[in-house]
Chain A
């Protein structure tokens, strides 16, 4: 039976340039003329309209380097799109102080934080970034902006340190946290180095078991249960489609196998059956990343009574 396909979150990359050069990040590995190139505001808005997703996540690259970011966000807020501006927060304080953003229920700064100071600075290959990000978060929260964090966990993560990190983020009064397993998207999985499914569920079980009530996650609780190995989902690769200067990326946020010129062609002409865990595609075997699996969890919440009930129970009790 063919499932109806619809997008949940548009991943919009107005530029690929970044002010960090984190090793392992494939997003910035392009020639200089590509990194200097960016979409126009109109191209971004056209993509937002074309896709129709209710939420727009702006990763990159570092979106605060985009010269028109204030205008772009303002236009999307006018269109009542829920905007998640994903930033390393190095420029957050400066941009907020220049008044290019206005607090809104539609705008959330999603700050990249990969752990406490030591882990985060190691992850981004530069000392001092954790403190800069904390500084930016404090200022954004103080001014009434919605702020969340997004964290990628690798197999080297210490569950105890991650739990301490959650406490530290909640102490900053962020609205919620987002977590996802690290996954190599350019190469086939290598069990020696990457988070395989068993490693992922083991790590997330240790991190999230006995979850503290004060930890707020800006994520589907069913997705978190999936990461803990308590649920099984199939990938929804079209759930978070990606648009950038090259077009609509096929097939998903992580795999870069080509580009479609229009959103409709992406949806209609991509061989979706070739992707996801069940497909047998080796690139997909160990992936449990939020961009493919959180839409599946959300789908369960809104299409089944059990999914809805489990979501309500997890939300009300705070237990996973």
Chain B
């Protein structure tokens, strides 16, 4: 049984081994806010809900956490992504739920067996 790993707090170092495209892909799958630092020195916090790698100019789309407005950013304008927000899916996977259900069921069966003598 594998434990689920969260990317919460992850501050990747973009390199030849870990490309910006790969980091953005992880940000797209992440169920929490991230902080995107841009090549112009600014940073923005929000939720990445889409990306398009096939576009002539690949871009990400996010909902800005402070203004709750939709933003589009080109990959070319992004320096890095840090996983700063709480991972809202941590420990809440379907597998975790099934395991909890199974544990609860076994506990109920044991209680019923005990009370039945």
Residues of A within 8 A of B (CB): 23-24, 26, 29-31, 33-34, 36-37, 122, 154, 156, 184, 186-187, 190, 193-194, 245-247, 258-259
Q: Is the interface of B mostly helix, strand, loop or mixed?
A: mixed
- A31 and B65 within 8 A (CB): yes
- B49 and A259 within 8 A (CB): yes
Chain A residues contacting B50 (CB-CB under 8 Å) are 246-247, 258-259
Chain B residues contacting A186 (CB-CB under 8 Å) are 89, 93-94
Q: Which of B65, B68, B89 lies in contact with A26, CB distance below 8 A?
A: B89
Residues of B within 8 A of A (CB): 28, 31-33, 47, 49-52, 61, 63, 65, 68, 85-86, 88-89, 92-102, 104-105
Q: Which of B32, B61, B63, B92 lies in contact with A37, CB distance below 8 A?
A: B63
Give chain B nearest CB distance to A295 CB in angstroms: 24
- B95 and A190 within 8 A (CB): yes
- A33 and B68 within 8 A (CB): yes
- B33 and A187 within 8 A (CB): no
Supposing A184-B95, A193-B98, A246-B49 touch, asked if A122 and B68 sit within 8 A by C-beta, the answer is no
- B86 and A31 within 8 A (CB): yes
Q: Which of A24, A33, A36 lies in contact with B93, CB distance below 8 A?
A: A24
Q: Which of B31, B49, B63, B94 lies in contact with A194, CB distance below 8 A?
A: B94
Q: How far is the CA of A34 from the CA of B65 in the complex (A)?
A: 8
- A23 and B88 within 8 A (CB): no
Supposing A33-B68, A37-B63, A258-B50 touch, asked if A24 and B92 sit within 8 A by C-beta, the answer is yes
Chain A residues contacting B32 (CB-CB under 8 Å) are 31
- A187 and B94 within 8 A (CB): yes
Chain A residues contacting B51 (CB-CB under 8 Å) are 258
Q: Nearest chain-B residue to A24 (Cβ)?
A: B97
- A23 and B49 within 8 A (CB): no
Q: How far is the CA of A29 from the CA of B33 in the complex (A)?
A: 11
Q: A36-B68, A184-B95 are in contact. List 8 more A-B contacts (CB 8 A).
A: A23-B97, A23-B100, A24-B98, A29-B89, A31-B32, A31-B88, A156-B101, A259-B49
Give chain B nearest CB distance to A191 CB in angstroms: 12
- A33 and B97 within 8 A (CB): no
Q: How far is the CA of A259 from the CA of B49 in the complex (A)?
A: 8
Chain B residues contacting A36 (CB-CB under 8 Å) are 68
Q: Nearest chain-A residue to B88 (Cβ)?
A: A29
Chain A residues contacting B99 (CB-CB under 8 Å) are 193
Chain B residues contacting A187 (CB-CB under 8 Å) are 93-95
Chain B residues contacting A23 (CB-CB under 8 Å) are 92, 96-97, 100
Chain B residues contacting A247 (CB-CB under 8 Å) are 50
Give chain A nearest CB distance to B2 CB in angstroms: 10
Q: How far is the CA of A154 from the CA of B89 in the complex (A)?
A: 20
